[in-house]
Amino acid sequence: MKKILVIVALVVALAAVYLMQDQSSGQHQKLSQQELTKLKTQQVVFETNKGNFVIELYPDKSPLSVSNFINYVKQGFYEGTVFHRSLPGVIIQGGGFSKGMNLKATNAPVKNESDNLLPNVKGSVSMARKDPADSATSQFFVNLRNNPSLDYRGDKPGYAVFAKVVQGLDLLEALARNKTEIQGAHQNVPIEAIVIKSVKLTDRPTLKEVGANGTETAKTKVFQEGVHYVRLKTPLPLINTKKVEIVSAFSYGCGHCYGLYGATQDWKAEQRKKIDFSFFHAVWSNAMRIYAQTYYTAIALGVDKNMHVPLYEAIVIHQQKLSNKDEIAAFFESYGVDKAKFIEVFDSEAIVKRVGQAEKLTKAYHLASVPEFIVAGKYRLDPMRAGGVKEIFEVMDYLIEKETKSQ
């Protein structure tokens, strides 16, 4: 009889575990398309004991991560959790522990979405995880600088970006500079607790503009300086034109630049009557200097249009070793370019000078990542700040219209 009771108890316990697991996995299932679409018009406000900050989500690019996060928000999970790890000028992490470093029970892990190619740049919000890649649950971190080492790299999963900070990044930067300590197995724990009091969804604020009849109408798209784009302190127009100048900063070693290239070409064709467009190879490292020298050599030889995509694919997709003059010359030769002529132009004073100018311009534009766009020599923007690939072209359309009206 006792054996029967033990077996029954065991069956009941296993059934309970099964139901708990089933319920847990159901708590973070992907939101409906209607819910994900609505999130595009909303923001998430974090209220902490040290001040507030606001994020906007990427439901199109990171639907699983966003769904997972929103389900925790709806459960009130984050209330009372702390930012338990801070590395000044690098990241600040939270969403898993309450005060005293007590780990909260979470739902099942979510699939890693770092292959969405959203970069871990300053202000982006990413899913925290361990190994394996599909181990993220409730914890997240805010990038306080560009952290390209955390990005997806072909066969190497990264840390999935699912949101960006649109207000209060300065607060988070300041909090990350506070003193930390070691608590048990946990390092870099803020001594003075940074407690999340509430996390709430709210509609994005809309700006009002006065219509022709004198009545106020809400703009369907709101683009704000300092949020979706930044204004350069010193304007840097490169050409004298009646159109709006657009400079696209890129690097052959940048997978995000390659991913954006096709859409950029399509957009450029649509806007050709309004803009003067040019590419610009950024330089802030030796590898980028070699790539820039390659790009401007291709222009001088008149083969840039034929070589642009093959160079991207060789370096980004096939990870072909093109790190010095001889390797690159051999690559050009495989596309019918005379090797000796390529080396002659590559080493020429004109090309070396042009690369030096690119390096100076990189600093003048205050570029820390690519791809980035400079509009009218006044405004700098990137896909992360704008809100995504589609949004960056919408922001540029807005700035082009703004500049056209001012002219």
- Domain CATH code at residue 253: 3.40.30.10
Same domain assignment for residues 307 and 352: yes
pLDDT of residue 28: 53
Same domain assignment for residues 162 and 237: no
Same domain assignment for residues 163 and 70: yes
Same domain assignment for residues 104 and 228: no
**Terminus-to-terminus CA distance in the chain, angstroms?**
92
Residue 183 in domain: yes
Burial of 154 (0-12, 13-18, 19+ CB in 10 A): exposed
Same domain assignment for residues 197 and 249: no
Read off the CATH number of the domain in which 196 is found: 2.40.100.10
Residue 254 in domain: yes
Same domain assignment for residues 182 and 38: yes
Residue 214 in domain: no
Is this structure's pTM higher than 0.85?
A: no
Q: For residue 269, what are its two tokens?
A: 């064709």
pLDDT of residue 206: 57
- Half-sphere exposure (Cβ direction) of 353: Cα atoms closer than 13 Å: 4
Same domain assignment for residues 167 and 256: no
Residue 160 in domain: yes
Which range marks the domain in which residue 130 is found? Answer: 31-203
**Total number of domains constituting the chain:** 2
Residues 6+ apart with CB under 8 A from 151: 114, 117, 119, 120, 158, 159
Same domain assignment for residues 254 and 166: no
Same domain assignment for residues 361 and 320: yes
Same domain assignment for residues 193 and 229: no
Residue 213 in domain: no
Residue 12 in domain: no
Low-confidence ranges of the chain (pLDDT < 70): 1-28, 206-221
> Can you tell me the distance from the alpha carbon of 119 to that of 139, in angstroms, rounded to the nearest whole number?
18
Residue 339 in domain: yes
Same domain assignment for residues 195 and 232: no
Residue 294 in domain: yes
Name the phi and psi angles at 242, rounded to 5.
-85, -15
pLDDT of residue 406: 81
pLDDT of residue 277: 96
pLDDT of residue 209: 42
Same domain assignment for residues 228 and 199: no
